[in-house]
Amino acid sequence: MEERKITVENNSIHIPDRPIIPYIEGDGIGPEIMRAAMMVWNSAVSCAYAGKRKVTWKEIYAGEKAIKIFGDPLPEETIEAIRSHVVSIKSPLTTPVGRGYRSLNVKLRQILDLYACIRPVKWIKGVPAPVKHPELLDVVIFRENTEDVYAGIEWKKGSQEAKKVIAFLKDTFNLEIRNDSGLGLKPISEFATKRITRKAIQYALENGRKNITIVHKGNIMKYTEGAFMEWAYEVAMNEFKDKVILEEELNESISEKLIIKDRIADNMFQQILLEPSEYDIILLPNLNGDYLSDAAAAQVGGIGLVSGANVGDFIALFEPTHGTAPQLAGKGIANPTSLILSGAMMFDYIGWKEVGSIIRKAVEKTIMDEKMTVDLAKKKGVEPLKTTEFAEEIVKNIEE
């Protein structure tokens, strides 16, 4: 069985039986959770296909390990490997706060044009959650990944640039801004908004989802977030007219079409708590998507249990939703669930849905049996497992 790259031909992804998939170990707890996740992924593939299909893993480098090897936290070889292999997966990477290099996660998304951050949020049975009915929440968040604050431009308070911009706004538009202000711009374009809307609608239709909610702060920021809402509606009604229906057009009967609705961002934080079952696919600009995805994850037990992906037209980079947790690194106690489930999401993406299903069922059974890492175990009052021990329990449930 020949090892081959995943390719894109005739506008579709082609998956060989033995694909080469690059991975990045990551920083902090990254190497520990990656080793644990690999055990689970390989076991699930073996269980599903009995040797007829197999992943060849190819390590590539970013973050602290890349600095040691290449003197560069994000070498060109890594970027090219992700691009040429189409599908990759990574552990979290360190982003220095207020110093050093800018976020490698953001840089990868921008360089590779991975414009959709996709995060399914669904409760795993047995996980202790802070709400009474976490099972009511089952959403997939589509967050625009390249604009808004990710493409933001800032000027420091008192800098020559800030002074020039303040003077320009006063002289040209008669706008008064305090001289001791820091300034920022956040671009939101029609192009980027419409393409992520298309991806969200296509996902909803392909996966039998019932509604899409456009979340924005358009009542205040009319020409950025308000425009995001308007452009999203345009895509829905112009490009998917026969398959969608607006919320206000609904009558008493249940529609078989995909319902399109919108909510103001601050109200949405209330709605997702009060009426979680009313929401399905949630489409947002970058910053609101960042906030809401973490808030939604909290309802089902935390971001350590939620999978994630950064997806472009074809290239996809899967990753856990949490950070590097350096305070836990080297202790063997980190929870690898987010990365494991990101792998399940990756297998769904390449069409190996049997593998994704096996992984999710085994993770759930393991947690239902009260086999869990310390972050969950202390809430349940049970004996915690080490990172590797938890992965081994999942593998046992796969092999049974």
Residues 318 and 201 in one domain: no
pLDDT mean over 309-335: 93
Domain boundary among 275, 300, 325: 300
**pTM score of the predicted model:** 0.92
Kindly state whether residue 325 falls inside one of the protein's structural domains: yes
Residues 142 and 52 in one domain: no
Q: What's the number of domains the chain is made of?
A: 3
CATH assignment at residue 380: 3.40.718.10
What band does 98 get if pLDDT is binned at 50, 70 and 90?
very low
Kindly state whether residue 119 falls inside one of the protein's structural domains: no
Residues tagged active-site? 150, 217, 266, 290
**What pLDDT is stored for residue 368 in this prediction?**
96
Between 322 and 360, the higher pLDDT residue: 360
- Helix (H) / strand (E) element for 218: namely none
Neighbours of 68 (CB within 10 A): 9
What band does 81 get if pLDDT is binned at 50, 70 and 90?
very high
pLDDT mean over 110-124: 95
Residues 219 and 364 in one domain: no
With 90 as the cut, is the pLDDT of residue 256 above it?
Answer: no
With 50 as the cut, is the pLDDT of residue 291 above it?
Answer: yes
28 DSSP assignment? T
Average pLDDT value for the chain: 93
Q: Is 103 annotated as a binding residue?
A: yes
Distance CA(344)–CA(34), nearest Å, equals 13
Kindly state whether residue 276 falls inside one of the protein's structural domains: yes
**What pLDDT is stored for residue 138 in this prediction?**
97
Distance CA(267)–CA(319), nearest Å, equals 29
Q: Is 335 annotated as a binding residue?
A: yes
Residues 197 and 291 in one domain: yes
Kindly state whether residue 122 falls inside one of the protein's structural domains: no
**What pLDDT is stored for residue 253 in this prediction?**
62
What band does 252 get if pLDDT is binned at 50, 70 and 90?
low
Q: What angle, 0 to 180 degrees and rounded to 10, lies between the N-to-C axes of helices 353-368 and 30-49?
A: 120
Residues 225 and 294 in one domain: yes
Q: Is 174 annotated as a binding residue?
A: no
With 90 as the cut, is the pLDDT of residue 344 above it?
Answer: yes
**165-192: per-residue pLDDT in tens?**
999 999 999 999 999 999 999 999 999 9
pLDDT mean over 66-91: 94
**What pLDDT is stored for residue 44 in this prediction?**
97
Kindly state whether residue 197 falls inside one of the protein's structural domains: yes
Give the structural domain span for 39. 1-114+306-399
Q: Is 109 annotated as a binding residue?
A: yes
Residues 337 and 245 in one domain: no
Closest CA to 280 of 294, 261, 264: 261
Residues 175 and 265 in one domain: no
